Structure 1
Amino acid sequence: MEAGKDVYVEKPLSHSQWEGRQTVAAARKYDRICQLGTQQRSDPMQAEIKKFLHEEKALGEITSARVNRYGIRGSIGKRDTPLEIDKNVAYDLWLGPAQDEPIYRKALHYDWHWVWNTGSGEMGNWGVHVLDDCRNNVFQDSVALPQRIFGGGGRVALNDAGETPNVHFAYFDTGSIPVVIGLSNLPSAPGAKSSPKHPGPSSGYIAYCEGGRYEGQRGGGTAYDENGKVIKKFKAKSGDVRHQTNFIDAVRSRDRASLNAEIELGNDSTGWCNLANIAFRSGENFTKSAASQLDSPIWNSLLEEMDSHLSAHGIAMESDEIKLSPMLELNPKTEQFVGEHADAGNALLKRQYRAGYEVPELA
C-alpha cells in the first residue's frame, strides 16, 4: 500500500493485533483499497440470513452463539536435525518478519501454520472464517472486539514439532451475546476417521435464539424451531468469484465503502482469533476450579465436550498438557489489555520483527 498498490490479502490478516492495526492505518494513510479474503462475505445468502434473524426476528432474540472448527489434521512430524531448505526457495523472503530459526518439522510449506514463529494455528487459519461469519450474521459487525476473553487448550496426542493448539476452546464476553468457540484437529478417538461429536456444523456457527436456533456454514444454513423442526433452509450462492469481483469493482470506483470485507472489518474478525491465541499462550495448567469462575451454560457445555473428547485420547483436562488462561479484560477501543492480568496479555500483542522486515508504526 505504501508503494501505491491496492491489496487483496488472504486470511489471516495478521500475526498479531498490533500488526493488523497498522495495516488498517496504512490503508487509510495511503488511501488504498484493501480487502480480506473472507469470501463468504460476498455471498448474497448472508443478507438473507441477517434479514431472517434481525429484521423478521423469526426465531426471536439471539441469546448466545457457538462457533465450531472441527477437522482432522495429522502429525507434521519431528526431526532430530534441522530441515534443509531447498536451494530454489528464496528463504529470506519466505521468512519475511519471522525469525530465522531451525525448523524441525518434515515440510517447509503449509505446516508453517502450526509454529508460532510463522503461523497462528488453526484458530488463525479456519478460525477467521467461522468467527467472521458469526460477527457478520449474529452481531451485524456491531461488536468489533470482545471485552473479556477466557480460554485454553493444548497441542496433544501427536508428539510432533507443532506448537499451536490442536484442541482449543475460548469464551468471548461481548457485553451482549456471549460466544464460545470449540476447535479440534484430532479424530473422535485414536485411529478414528471422524471428528468428535459436537452441536452444529463442523466449520460454522450456531445462533441460539429465544424460539429456536440457526446453524450456518459456508455452504448454507438451516433454521430450527424450539422443538428442533426445520423451518427454513438457506443455500449458498458461491462467494469466491463475487468476492474477487467486489474487490476489482472497488479498485475501479475507489469506494472502499463498497467492499464486503474492508480491511477494518477483516482486522476485527482476525482480532478475535489473535485474542483466543493470546488466551492459550498466557495460560497455565487447567483446573476445574479456575474454569468454574465463569458460570455460563454454553461454556460449561463446551468444557464437558472437550473433557470427553480428550478422555478418548487418554488425556485428562486437569493435566500439564492442557492450559487455561486467566480471565483477560480488553479495552476494545485501545486494543490493549487492562486490569489484573493485563501484563500477560499485552506482552503478546506484538511480535519481534526481524531486521529489514519491521512493520512501521502508523497507529
Structure 2
Amino acid sequence: MARKKSSAKKPSAKKSSARKSKVVAKDAANADVKICALPPAPERDLAPTMDPFRASLIRFMDKKWVNGTALNYYFFRKPAAWRGAANQEQAVRDAFQEWKDLGLGLVFNEVEAPEDAEVRIGFDQRDGSWSYVGRDAIDHASDPRKRTMNFGWDLTTPYGRDTALHEIGHALGFPHEHQNPNAGIVWDEAAVIANFSGPPNNWPEDQIRHNILRKIDPSLVEGSEWDPDSIMHYRFGAGLIQQPARYQTHSLIPAPGLSPVDIDRAAAFYPMIKREPKLRSYESQRITILPGEQLNFVIEPERSRLYSMQTFGGMDTVMVLFEEIDGQPFYMDGDDDSGSDFNAKITVRLRRGRRYILRLRLYYAMQQGEGVVMLW
C-alpha cells in the first residue's frame, strides 16, 4: 500500500527564516533598554615583581569596604537637573533597605549634607544610570560637590527597581557579572557595537568595550561560578552572544531582584558583626584570620590623649577606626598598607568616656598567625 501523503505543506526555508527573525526581533526587544555605564576609574598600580597570589588577593578586596562601615548616602537638591522626585528617592531608599534586610554588617544612613556622604546621588535624566564601584567613590570621587551615583530613568517600574539594586550593588563593591571571565561568554563584537552604539544607549565604542566586551581581571571575581540571574548582569538581546549557543536565538534577561548567588556573595563579604573584644593599651592581639576575613575591636580609652594603633608582621591589611555615637559608627581615620613594605598605622586623639571600633581586614599574610595589632 502506498504511503499516504500528508496534505500539510512543509514551510519553505525562506518562511522559516522569516519566522525565526521575527522571534529573535521580539525577544531582543525585551532586552533593548538603557543600561548602566560605569565611570572609568584607574586600576591600582601594583609592583610587577609582587607575588601573583598576593596581588590577586589585594585586587579582589581593594574596592570592598571594611565590614561594619556606615555608608552614608545623600540626595542632591541642586542643581535642579540632579534633584529627584519623591517617589524616585523612595525607590532608592527601598533598594538600600532590601540590601540591608539580607543581614549585612554594613550600615546605610541617609544624611543631609554631601560632605557627610560616601554615596552622593543625582537623578539627571540625561546622564543615564551609573555608580562608582565600592571604595572608588572615596578614592577617585571624593569632592562632595560631585555625584558618585546617578539614576537616569524611572525607578518605580520593575526594571527601575532592579536598576536601583544594581547601582547600590556597585556601591558595595560588586562589578558587572557579564564581564566575569569565568562566564565563558563569546560575544559577536560587531553586533554588540552596532546594538549599543544606537538607541536607546548611543554609546561610543570605547564605552561599549569598557562596560560589556572587556573581561575583568580574574582576581576581582569571587569563585568560578557565573550567575546569569545576578542583579549585576545586563540584559542582552538575542544574537549578541555567540556562546553559550542558546543566546544566539534567545535574549539573556536575568530574573528580577537579587539572585541567591548575589545574596551569598554579599553575606560572605559583609556578614553580620559579632561581639567585638576590647583592645587595651599596650596589649597586643594576634591576627589569626584568613585572607578576606576581618577582626573588630572595641577601644574605650581610660584617658584623653593621642593614641597610635598599628599592625606588626608580614601582612597586608586595611585598618579603619570609627567612633560609635548612639549606636552608629562614624568614620575617623584609616590606613591601607596593602602592596607596600609598611604596616597599617593610625595615630589619632581619643577621648575618655567615648567608644571606638577598630576594624581590620586581612588581604594577605606571609604566614598565618604571625601578625599582631597593638594600641599604645
Which of the five TM-score ranges fits, normalised by the shorter chain?
A: under 0.3
TM-score computed with the length of structure 1 as normaliser: 0.27
